[in-house]
Structure 1
């Protein structure tokens, strides 16, 4: 690749989701080519610093060492006299339709500029069909010198696939060598705000049923820091504090990956944790961000269409589909009979093979970072 300079733009909307994806993208790119010169432009360096501890939030410009590479980190809002010069000018990865800072706009659309600028719109992850259609679709800008194109993460070979950094891959491989603890069913909870009483009722029932066969059996709940924590804790208290409830501190990305890969069942939310849950090969529920007119259900069912072909049995398919839809409909109650049955099967390891097969299929789509670098090789 002739142009080794890449600029990644991130305007933080969700506290950690957006920058979490950008951080993983930067790691994955550097893992593949340590000679790349990465510049990350972020609107909230405090959020970035929460997962990359050496970042100094108050610095407008700084360098960050990752393995044997060095990234330049820039605050989105620079002073009026700030100038950015680089030869050649970086290829720009505009994440999640974040737009561009004013100082970058001036460079790109300078009437005297003669070079060609390349922008790739790295979109939000979705299983909807439009991801296939939009991938590598060109879009217009107000200058013929500024070339822009969609680059879509997704769940099919027609998209760019999912991000896979080397540390996550190592963590996943190590998790598969660990012996299963037959005395424990470990459940991770990380979602948006919602009611969890029915889930804890089902987990209590599972623990009671399993203890009739194995008195040492316990259900362990790992409640992640964030919006769902107070709701999960309240449900645990309301249902008798019968489970081993662990309140997690804020974790690094690497620590969180390990938990998702080693837990037996994961309740996840958003995009970054969803992608890890899919790749982990463990049974999971996804809590999508609630949208107007319950549009999140369109996204939920699009993902279900990708998962269900790997699940055996009509009843189990229907169970998973109805539970996911209930879980993602505000105010809807979960069918406790179906929920208990589904979680019980998970506790007994009956569902793992289905989700492992789904995961293996996703790996066959390739690594988004590698697919991106391969495409950049074709640029003139």
Structure 2
């Protein structure tokens, strides 16, 4: 086995779930820690092939490679590279660390700061649990690090220059035109409505497509190949797996555009360029907020509908400074979409469309409120120092 890097480094372990969710969060965090804090970051990933969908330069067969200042290591069992503890160890989303890593921790003269980076939630309990230690075998504490929307939580991932970069991008319409041309999208005029969808399978999306096909103005729905497209088989001329990026399907006033997979920067720009975004999971959910555009959050379904509790907790925060009638309609729209209530989702879309200017103004101001005093990476570095 090769020897791993010096003990000054940070290790982040990630199990790829749902192809892009967990790795999307950890990859953004790893890049930000390396770029903005000049930290040596080792990112251990169990599925490099799926990771490659959002990092096209990645070579899945390599056990070790470096991209954007982050050392990416293939997480095999057993590991291909000797593990030497660094100064910080992050297990992303309660993934189970390899046995040899746990053994190295108990044998270390000076164990690293061990953190469990949890999923994002707006629920009240997050403030009370963030930063709590959990005693582990070998006499080591593992700390729960919980991202969140208040100052008493771990914060939200947002690069220091992101909002300024977004503003500059949105200020120049030519940026959007060039992006769409690069993606092979045709027939989109400045006065057309543009919506992106990165959702799980749901009949609610199909119901919205039926509504948009009868709209008074041209509508464009931008879809990557995958789970959103699987919701629209009744509208497609062939099976979703046979459609190629760049192809489009005309449904009355609505045009469906099939997108190629893109890296994270490209996805950010896509969100910035649309009038409305439908997103899923955690990474795209947060990026939709930074895009300063109205959105629907298709949250990952959980047993006993607990995902709706998490959705409602977020919506209460998001709607705090929104006019009551707009807040109620937007909340009901999100619930109808997540509960696959097809008639309600059509009715509520028509209703929220009459409140577009209020919702857009709120979406523009929300990132300032959500960030509070610091982003997740900044709070994480401060937490480790303490």
Name 2:213's counterpart in structure 1.
Answer: 204
Name 2:59's counterpart in structure 1.
Answer: 56
The structure 2 residue matched to 1:13, chosen from 11, 17, 41, is: 17
Alignment pair present for 1:26 and 2:30 = yes
* Contact kept? 2:326, 2:358, Cα under 8 Å: no
Q: CA deviation at 1:358?
A: 1.8
Q: CA deviation at 1:219?
A: 1.4
CA distance in 2, matches of 1:254, 1:131: 29
Name 1:214's counterpart in structure 2.
Answer: none
TM-score, structure 1 normalization: 0.86
Name 2:167's counterpart in structure 1.
Answer: 173
CA distance in 2, matches of 1:221, 1:372: 37
Change (3 A) 1:101 1:343: farther
The structure 2 residue matched to 1:328, chosen from 332, 338, 350, is: 338
Change (3 A) 1:55 1:330: same
> How is 1:187-266 mapped onto 2 (pairs within 5 angstroms)?
187-195=195-203, 196-205=205-214, 207-208=215-216, 211=217, 218-232=218-232, 234-235=234-235, 240-266=251-277
Alignment pair present for 1:37 and 2:40 = yes
CA distance in 1, matches of 2:273, 2:160: 17
Name 1:270's counterpart in structure 2.
Answer: 281
Deviations 1:78-107 (A, max 9, x none): 547842236xx2310111001201221121
* Contact kept? 1:82, 1:103, Cα under 8 Å: no
Name 1:98's counterpart in structure 2.
Answer: 95
Q: CA deviation at 1:330?
A: 4.6
Structure 1: 5+ residue stretches without partners: 212-217
> How is 1:110-149 mapped onto 2 (pairs within 5 angstroms)?
110=107, 113-144=108-139, 146-149=140-143
SS at match of 2:213: helix
TM-score, structure 2 normalization: 0.85
Higher mean C-alpha deviation, range 50-59 or range 331-340: 331-340
SS at match of 2:82: coil
Alignment pair present for 1:317 and 2:327 = yes
Runs of 4+ displaced beyond 6 Å: 236-239
Name 1:157's counterpart in structure 2.
Answer: 151
Change (3 A) 1:13 1:164: same
Name 2:367's counterpart in structure 1.
Answer: 359
SS at match of 1:334: helix
Deviations 1:323-349 (A, max 9, x none): 211211256642432221213533xx3
Change (3 A) 1:135 1:56: same
SS at match of 1:139: strand
CA distance in 1, matches of 2:51, 2:280: 19
Name 1:341's counterpart in structure 2.
Answer: 351
* Contact kept? 1:121, 1:150, Cα under 8 Å: yes
Q: CA deviation at 1:283?
A: 0.6
Name 1:215's counterpart in structure 2.
Answer: none
Structure 2: 5+ residue stretches without partners: 1-6, 177-188, 238-248
Higher mean C-alpha deviation, range 231-240 or range 330-339: 231-240
Q: Superposition RMSD on alpha carbons, in Å?
A: 2.5
